[in-house]
């Protein structure tokens, strides 16, 4: 595997950088970890790249310095095998075909973005389109009811009915590819309303030029081979509705108001020839252990996690080709390291702690999915997962968004700890982002393990909301998520670390294991 020395850590730390606002020793150490992980030397940490390996070596050096034990399958490493897949936009062709044979070209890579990940892509697609509204299949709301999807591509729109809880919609969307395939669909096209766009389409086009990945072991893939997954530019989405008796603008207005959206056949079929290249990639998860103090509980584990990877080197924006991922998610890795230091220095938790730094989150939660399905300890011994992904310490910590707090008894622990630290939990202000199913804790949830994820909280319409919205529009998955970005409050990040440390200690020391609530849509059946 990756054999390096502490000299690499020194090299990474020697890179000139801009400092965040940090006045405490822990805040400065937190930022120093981000500097090392997200500096230009690690080149955006694409899984399988030299830059990822450099960052991994740094993290392992930090594990060793903290006195943590290796807990991978190869020392601190858990190697994961992937297939990297890249769509050749220039060599691919797409068009909408009308009932009269008319042809409306769709440029692959601009009008139509084809997902390069999840599973091997089919080389050709030729299928009718059926609009199925939000594409949800739930008791009392089934957009597939009475719809013949056999051999067709389902077209879905962003959003969801206001009367359905956010976690319920999120859980259903996470399973959508599977139940569409079970209904006979050969693919899905996602549409986003102009009002719900958070990442400018021009940047999504740049990101679409990058490679995707899927697990080399087909038994671990959630998406069937050959299933077509794509999205269409909101500015071109109207073309899909031509001659259908409805318009995209009409459907978008309903979706923006969270109203019921009808389903109907579209008078178009999609034809596409997709050119793709593939190559094997090897990239490791990193796993360290702090042994518990209680003889009866130390064989059980609380997992702390964050993802090390980002999206590497891509098409330049303002002349900068390195997508550093300082907040996404070097900041989460730095917080896990800080929490590990606090747990090691204080009274030893009764249960053992696993610190799992995963790869390929940006490729579809692949590293965490691999670990959750093939953990380096018995799966039944893992009692909880606490995950950090892009907590965004950009304003003083008063509210905490604890994703998953309504799904298991972990939520009560979080609320108890918040009360002792002068913090308050806030509901997800943007539930239709599906954030809970889009980050690594969801891999543990799918494995039946209760989990939480943590972010700086905000209320919709507040100044903090404006800061978060601006950051997401301009820095998320862009080169400007780098060490030069202003406004990062390192000492506030440490306050969130203290909050999560207290939760981890409570979970580790309580004899009773966390349990799913009977009302949770994620509860194993």
For the chain, domains (ranges, CATH) are 6-84+279-509 (3.40.630.10), 89-274 (3.50.30.30)
Q: What is the mean pLDDT of residues 203-213?
A: 89
- Longest CA pairwise span in the chain (Å): 74
Q: Cis (ω within 30 of 0) for the bond into 329? A: yes
Local confidence band at 18 (pLDDT 50, 70, 90 cut-offs): very low
- Residue 19 predicted with pLDDT over 70: no
Is residue 280 within 8 Å of residue 361, measured between CB atoms? no
Q: What is the pLDDT of residue 434?
A: 76
How far is 56 from 3, CA to CA, in rounded Å? 10
Q: What is the mean pLDDT of residues 64-72?
A: 99
The mean of the pLDDT values for the chain is: 93
> Could you report the per-residue pLDDT of 396-411, keeping only the tens digit for each?
999 999 999 999 999 9
**116 C-beta neighbours (distance < 10 Å), count:** 24
How far is 104 from 272, CA to CA, in rounded Å? 12
SS3 content of the chain, % helix, strand, coil (to 5): 35, 25, 45
Strand 320-322 and strand 399-403: pairing?
Answer: unpaired
Is residue 384 within 8 Å of residue 410, measured between CB atoms? yes
Q: What is the pLDDT of residue 7?
A: 46
Is residue 339 within 8 Å of residue 304, measured between CB atoms? yes
State in Å, rounded, how far the first CA of the chain is from the last one.
39
How far is 290 from 505, CA to CA, in rounded Å? 12
Q: What is the pLDDT of residue 506?
A: 99
H-assigned helices in 315-409: 331-345, 366-373
Q: Which residues contact 121 (CB under 8 A, 6 or more apart)?
A: 85, 87, 114, 115, 226, 228, 274, 276
Q: What is the pLDDT of residue 117?
A: 79
Bridge partners, residue 308, by sequence: none
Q: What is the pLDDT of residue 222?
A: 82
Side-chain-side CA neighbours of residue 50 (13 Å): 6
Q: Using CA of residue 411, residue 412, residue 416, residue 419, what is the dihedral sign?
A: positive
- Residue 123 predicted with pLDDT over 50: yes
Q: What is the mean pLDDT of residues 148-169?
A: 90
Q: Is the pLDDT higher at 503 or at 119?
A: 503
Encode 336-361 in three state secondary structure. HHHHHHHHHHCCCCCCEEEEEEECCC
H-assigned helices in 421-477: 441-446, 463-474
Q: What is the pLDDT of residue 175?
A: 86
- Residue 437 predicted with pLDDT over 60: yes
Q: What is the pLDDT of residue 12?
A: 52
Local confidence band at 11 (pLDDT 50, 70, 90 cut-offs): very low
* Lowest-pLDDT range of 152-161, 220-229, 276-285: 220-229
Tokens of 428: 């997800």
- Residue 448 predicted with pLDDT over 70: yes
How far is 271 from 103, CA to CA, in rounded Å? 10
Tokens of 45: 């940490």
**Residue 329 DSSP symbol:** I
**506 C-beta neighbours (distance < 10 Å), count:** 17
- Residue that has been written with the tokens 């579209």 in this structure: 266
**Interaxial angle between packed helices 331-345 and 50-65, expressed in degrees from 0 to 180 and rounded to the nearest 10:** 20
Burial class from Cβ neighbours inside 10 Å (0-12, 13-18, 19+) for residue 23 reads exposed
Encode 89-158 in three state secondary structure. CCCCEEEEEECCCCEEECCECCCEEECCCCCCCCCEEEEEEEECCCCCEECCEECCCCCCCCCCEEEEEC
469: helix, strand or coil: helix
Is residue 310 within 8 Å of residue 329, measured between CB atoms? yes
**Residue 451 DSSP symbol:** E
Q: Which residues contact 517 (CB under 8 A, 6 or more apart)?
A: 406, 407, 408, 409, 411, 523
- Residue that has been written with the tokens 């796993």 in this structure: 287
What does R_g of the chain's alpha carbons equal in angstroms? 23
Q: What is the mean pLDDT of residues 353-359?
A: 99
Is residue 177 within 8 Å of residue 118, measured between CB atoms? yes
- Run of H or E including 497: helix 490-509
* Lowest-pLDDT range of 145-154, 431-440, 467-476: 431-440
Percent of the chain with pLDDT strictly greater than 90: 84
Tokens of 113: 């973005």
Q: Is the pLDDT higher at 207 or at 35?
A: 35
- Residue 16 predicted with pLDDT over 70: no
Local confidence band at 8 (pLDDT 50, 70, 90 cut-offs): very low
Rounded to 10 degrees, what is the CA torsion of 167, 168, 170, 176? 160
Q: What is the mean pLDDT of residues 113-122?
A: 87
Is residue 480 within 8 Å of residue 317, measured between CB atoms? yes
Q: What is the pLDDT of residue 237?
A: 98
Q: Of 439, 366, 363, 442, whose CA–CA distance to 117 is shortest?
A: 363
Side-chain-side CA neighbours of residue 479 (13 Å): 13
Q: Assign residue 127 a region: left if phi > 0, alpha if psi is -120 to 50, beta otherwise? A: beta
């Amino acid at each position: 595997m990756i054999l390096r020395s502490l000299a690499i850590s020194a090299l990474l730390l020697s890179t000139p950088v801009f400092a965040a606002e940090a006045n405490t020793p822990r805040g400065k150490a937190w930022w120093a970890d981000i500097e090392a992980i997200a500096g230009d030397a690690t080149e955006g940490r694409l899984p399988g790249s030299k830059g990822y390996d450099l960052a991994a070596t740094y993290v392992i050096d930090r594990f060793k310095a903290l006195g943590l034990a290796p807990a991978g399958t190869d020392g601190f490493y858990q190697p994961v095998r992937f297939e990297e897949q890249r769509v050749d936009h220039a060599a691919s062709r797409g068009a909408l075909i009308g009932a009269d044979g008319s042809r409306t070209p769709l440029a692959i890579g601009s009008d139509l973005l084809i997902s390069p990940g999840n599973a091997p892509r089919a080389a050709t697609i030729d299928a009718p389109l059926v609009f199925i509204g939000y594409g949800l299949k739930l008791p009392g709301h089934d957009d597939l009811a009475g719809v013949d999807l056999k051999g067709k591509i389902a077209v879905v729109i962003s959003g969801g009915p206001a009367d359905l809880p956010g976690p319920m919609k999120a859980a259903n969307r996470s399973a959508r590819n599977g139940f569409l395939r079970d209904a006979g669909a050969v693919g899905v096209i996602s549409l986003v309303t102009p009002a719900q766009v958070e990442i400018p389409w021009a940047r999504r086009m740049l990101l679409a030029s990058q490679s995707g990945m899927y697990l080399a072991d087909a038994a671990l893939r959630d998406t069937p081979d050959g299933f077509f997954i794509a999205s269409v530019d909101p500015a071109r989405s109207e073309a899909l509705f031509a001659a259908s008796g409805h318009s995209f603008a009409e459907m978008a207005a309903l979706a923006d108001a969270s109203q019921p959206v009808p389903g109907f056949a579209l008078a178009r079929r999609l034809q596409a020839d997709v050119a793709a290249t593939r190559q094997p990639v090897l990239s490791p998860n990193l796993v360290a252990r702090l042994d518990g103090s209680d003889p009866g509980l130390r064989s059980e584990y609380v997992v702390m996690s964050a993802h090390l990877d980002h999206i590497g080197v891509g098409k330049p924006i303002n002349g900068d080709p390195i997508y550093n991922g300082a907040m996404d998610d070097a900041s989460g890795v730095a917080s896990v390291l800080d929490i590990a230091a606090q747990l090691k220095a204080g009274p030893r938790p009764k249960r053992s702690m696993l610190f799992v730094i995963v790869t390929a989150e940006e490729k579809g939660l692949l590293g965490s999915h691999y670990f959750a399905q093939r953990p380096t300890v018995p799966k039944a011994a893992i009692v909880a997962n606490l995950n950090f992904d892009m907590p965004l310490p950009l304003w003083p910590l008063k509210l905490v968004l604890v994703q998953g707090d309504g799904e298991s008894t972990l939520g009560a622990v979080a609320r108890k700890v918040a009360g002792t630290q002068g913090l308050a939990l806030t509901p997800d202000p943007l539930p239709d982002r599906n954030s809970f199913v889009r980050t690594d804790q969801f891999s543990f949830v799918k494995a039946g393990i209760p989990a939480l994820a943590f972010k700086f909280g905000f209320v919709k319409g507040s100044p903090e909301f404006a800061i978060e919205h601006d950051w997401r529009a301009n820095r998320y998955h862009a080169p400007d998520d780098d060490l030069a970005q202003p406004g990062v409050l390192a000492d506030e990040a440490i306050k969130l670390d203290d909050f999560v440390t207290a939760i981890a200690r409570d979970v580790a020391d309580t004899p009773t294991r966390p349990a799913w609530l009977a009302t949770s849509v994620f509860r194993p059946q």
